[in-house]
Each structure stands twice: as C-alpha cells, then as structure tokens.
C-alpha cells in the first residue's frame, strides 16, 4: 500500500510542533528551517496548511535528478533520496511542482522519507491534522462529507428503486 501523509488544514492549529519533531528526528536539532514538513500560516485568518511531500507516483524530482539520487521505492511508494549520490544541483527543487524539496546547510537536497513508515510529525500532532495513510484516506472523508450533505438534504424522501424496475408477476395475472 502506498503510504502518504494526509493533512487536514482545518484541524491544524499552527503550533509548528511537527516541524520541530521532523528536524529533531533527522538532524538532532530543533527548528523549522531543517524540517521538510512546513506549516504555511495565514495567521490573520487563523488558517494553517501543513505542507508535505505527496510521494508522487510520477515524481518530477526523481525525473529531474541527473544522478539518480531520487528513486521511488516500488515496495512502499516512498520517494527516497540517497544523500550519498546527491550532488546538490537543486534541479529537484526546480522540478517539484509543490515546493516539497529542501536544501540543507550541507549543500545537499533533503526530502520527506516518512521516517521509514512511522512519521514523527504524525506522532507529534495532537490536533490530528497530519495522519499517515493512503490515497483513499485523503478522498474518502471528503466523499463521505459530501454524501452526508446530500443525505441531510434529501435523505427523508421516499426512495425510488421501483421507478426503474417493474416487479415481475411471473405472468400469473395475465
């Protein structure tokens, strides 16, 4: 199953603990500049978007990489960066349509590796705004929400299954 980070901006408080946790687990330092998850804040509107790597099926970062330092792992779907191969050319940063790639002070690229399957940012989000899941975890709640809206609007009306089928009388009444 392809795991991704599922974010819900409406649940995010903007506390930025995820950034600190990401930075600590990967670099042993707390801060936001070394984190590959970034909370984008619209503070005046109390709206926050935890920005994450989407682990694309067709990762432009990997395609742009001239030295094959970025590879999508076919087993778990994680787009993995091999720091040993990275030459720091920044082409991946330019290629990523979302801005999920980062550069570190060592001059090499960095990206989300989902912490090997147990992401630290998820563990530190007390608001449930970041979860690890698959694509359906992103879409299914939205489908459900839409369905519930429809249910609230017309759920009490008589159902119309008979409209499309006439009950068979096995010819007995004929």
Residues interacting with other proteins, by CB under 8 A?
13-17, 20-21, 23-25, 27-34, 41, 43, 46, 120, 123-124, 126-127
CB 5 within 8 A of CB 130: yes
- Closer of 5 and 22 to other proteins (Cβ): 22
Angle at 47 between CA 56 and CA 123, to 5 degrees: 55
**Coil vs helix vs strand at 136:** helix
What's the min distance (Å) between Cβ of 80 and other proteins?
22
Q: Please tell me the distance from the alpha carbon of residue 85 to that of residue 99, in angstroms, as a whole number.
A: 21
- Closer of 28 and 84 to other proteins (Cβ): 28
What's the min distance (Å) between Cβ of 114 and other proteins?
16
- Closer of 13 and 140 to other proteins (Cβ): 13
**Coil vs helix vs strand at 105:** coil
- Closer of 96 and 120 to other proteins (Cβ): 120
Q: Please tell me the distance from the alpha carbon of residue 37 to that of residue 56, in angstroms, as a whole number.
A: 16
What's the min distance (Å) between Cβ of 117 and other proteins?
16
With 0-12 / 13-18 / 19 or more C-beta atoms within 10 angstroms meaning exposed / middle / buried, residue 111 is buried
What's the min distance (Å) between Cβ of 20 and other proteins?
5
What's the min distance (Å) between Cβ of 69 and other proteins?
24
- Closer of 64 and 104 to other proteins (Cβ): 104
Q: Who contacts 29 (Cβ-Cβ below 8 Å, separation ≥6)?
A: 23
């Amino acid at each position: 199953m392809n795991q991704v980070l599922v974010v819900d901006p409406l649940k995010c408080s903007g506390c930025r603990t995820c950034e600190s946790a990401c930075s600590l687990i990967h670099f042993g330092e707390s801060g936001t500049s070394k984190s590959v998850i970034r909370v984008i804040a619209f503070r005046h509107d109390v709206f926050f978007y935890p920005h994450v790597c989407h682990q694309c099926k067709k990762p432009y970062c990997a395609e742009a990489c001239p030295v094959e330092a970025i590879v999508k792992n076919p087993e778990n779907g994680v787009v993995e960066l091999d720091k040993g191969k990275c030459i720091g050319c920044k082409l991946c940063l330019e290629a990523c349509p979302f801005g999920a790639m980062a550069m570190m002070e060592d001059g090499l690229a960095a990206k989300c590796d989902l912490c090997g399957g147990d992401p630290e940012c998820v563990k530190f989000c007390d608001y449930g705004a970041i979860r690890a899941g698959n694509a359906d975890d992103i879409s299914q709640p939205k489908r459900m929400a839409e369905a519930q809206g429809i249910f609230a609007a017309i759920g009490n009306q008589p159902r119309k299954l008979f409209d499309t089928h006439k009950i068979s009388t096995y010819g007995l009444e004929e």
